[in-house]
Amino acid sequence: MKQIMSNKISLVVFFALCISAVAHAESKQSAGYPITPVPFTSVKVSDGFWGQRLQAARTVTVPLAFSKCEETGRYTNFENAAAHLLDTSKVFEIKQGTFSFDDTDPYKTIEGASYLLQTYPDKQLEHYVDSVIAIIGRAQEPDGYLYTSRTQNPQAPHPWAGERRWVKEEDLSHELYNLGHMVEAAIAHYQATGKRTFLDIAIRYADCVCREVGPGAGQARVVPGHQIAEMALAKLYLVTGDKKYLDEAKFLLDERGKTTITHSYSQAHKPVIEQDEAVGHAVRAAYMYAGMADVAALTGDSAYVKAIDRIWENIVSKKLYITGGIGATNQGEAFGRNYELPNMTAYCETCAAIGNVYVNHRLFLLHGESKYYDVLERSLYNGLISGMSLDGGAFFYPNPLASEGQHQRQPWFGCACCPSNICRFIPSIPGYVYAVKEQNVFVNLFLPNQCALDVNGKRVKLSQKTSYPWDGDITLTVDENRAGEFSLKIRVPGWADNQVVPSDLYSFCDSHAAGYSFRVTTSDGKIATTSRLERTGDGYMTMKRKWKKGDRVEIHFDMPARTVRAHKAVRADVGRVCVLRGPLVYCAEHPDNSFNLNSALVSRQPSFTMSETSIAGTQVKTLQTLVQTLSYDDAGRLTISDATLTLIPYYAWAHRGRGQMAVWLPQDVSAISIEKAEVVKQKDNGFFSGE
């Protein structure tokens, strides 16, 4: 498969967030979110930081994911299930080491490949995807049920599957989780190709679930052990217009906390509308909060929105890592207690970072405030892309904030949800840049691109030129405007307004002050005098104007390197600082620093210089500052020496061999540790008691 796909898959991006991806589907449903994201198909990323990331996903990550599905027997599971359906005397022993959710790895990879096909047709890739869908379809039981962990051997299914359908759904079977990823992939394939092959397979399974899972007599009254079906069913409702899918999604949410298993691990400890704290498995939680937002947007259930708002406040004020990661502990891949944010043992699963983006994007679509994008951007540039190597071919499952060399990227995992998830997510980036509400155009991310969008049904074309995140200069140009007067709403990032996150969890602790400027010029370079620039309470610089072709908005964000302190209740970071420059979190790593990172004191008012280096063939901006290191001499006396500390962007660490890394560095003597930290071992394959 690598040979078939290598250098053939052309770059495209997909918008995996459910509502906007089907904006032109049935018109008779609820309007959904009050703000409409501009879909990825309308935004072409030209180059720059994200152009490199997308190129790596195109040439390496998606082909690798398909090849691993072949190598690890993902397709064999479907083939065995199909063989049993043809001849029930044939049964197959479930291969040791497989998981009940392995079916989702082909689904997720098909989803990414389908969006590739949508913009850049590739007959060889399309034929390959069709062949995989055919393998999947043959494994479907006559009533629509599709779950290879049972169908291969109904009398001796996967030990997590249970003796009958759905009996272990709230525990480990992942039957509804598999449905969710299948539906997401099938809709992507349908939109990309117009073919109903995979969509019809997914609809049959969804119909089976609607018949068999619910509140009625004879139905299994269960909720997903691992959430995602809620998001997928909401999307399927939009594509088909069949309200039973939305009703099923709402049932799966409303019934939570009322069934057999009611523990916090899967957020089933109380009804969803009563929840006010982020608890349990972080990926499951984020997917559930995203599903609640989708259902709330489609049904108008304000109780869901109030619950998500409370939970979001809890996360950003007490449970969010500076990198945008969530999930503090590997015990259940879960949120910890309030302010429990350890560094070396931080779990911060890559899938959880993706889920964090999903939630914050949806909350922006509901509320229209820039603070949600502040969290989204922090995760995007740090705790999410750290999960994939710069060349796109190796991955982190956990993303810790400190290491003594025990953490290394791997080319794949037995539990492969993170690699396959990031392979479907990275191409979706262009779908997060712009959004529209009536006569307002939101500009939320800064990257080189060309965009075509509609304002009240009239065509507008915009383009951006920028080197962001390496500097804070952006030029936004109006290339075409048939909409007359409208407002451009350009996000002022929190870090440019002296706010690290939208809470007091982190604060700048230096004497620097960031700033920003906006200027509107006409096509002949003159400053526009008829534009009204207003900093509005939603966090945007709003410019209302009858825009003409060639009009430009010249944006400048000051981007000094700044030191940050955590809230005093975060015990792991007491006496320490981290360094933030623009949206990027920086870390210190062993190849650049010959001393123990925990023995170096950062100045109270540090001065930084910037340079450039190459890591894994990619140019990155580095920072240098003078520090004082403490050590013992041969006579056992404490000595103090001056040294230069070099920092690199956090997302680029672990490309140059095993060794020490730290995001949070001592600034107070009390935080100094002259001896190297004891290596804290944790399960680095990312699997703990069910994906």
Give the catalytic positions in this structure. 333, 417
Torsion of CA 497, 498, 503, 507, to 10 degrees: 170
Say how far apart CA 571 and CA 577 lie, in whole Å: 13
354: amino acid identity, one letter:
I
Say how far apart CA 366 and CA 32 lie, in whole Å: 9
Classify residue 516 by its DSSP letter: E
Place of tokens 């080319």: 411
Four-residue CA torsion sign, 417, 420, 424, 425: positive
In terms of C-beta density within 10 A (0-12 exposed, 13-18 middle, 19 or more buried), how is residue 301 classed?
A: middle
CB 433 within 8 A of CB 444: yes
Helix (H, G, I), strand (E, B) or coil at 585: strand
**What one-character-per-residue DSSP string does 626-684 give?**
EEEEEEE-TTS-EEEEEEEEEEEEGGG-SSS-S-EEESSEE-SGGG--SSPPPP-----
Q: Which is nearest to 210 in space by CA: 218, 219, 223, 201?
A: 219
How distant is the alpha carbon of residue 557 from its chain centre?
25
Classify residue 281 by its DSSP letter: B
How distant is the alpha carbon of residue 305 from its chain centre?
21
Q: Compute and round to an integer the Cα radius of gyration of the chain.
A: 25
Classify residue 482 by its DSSP letter: -
Say how far apart CA 188 and CA 15 lie, in whole Å: 9
Four-residue CA torsion sign, 638, 644, 649, 654: negative
**What one-character-per-residue DSSP string does 557-568 give?**
E---EEEEEE-T
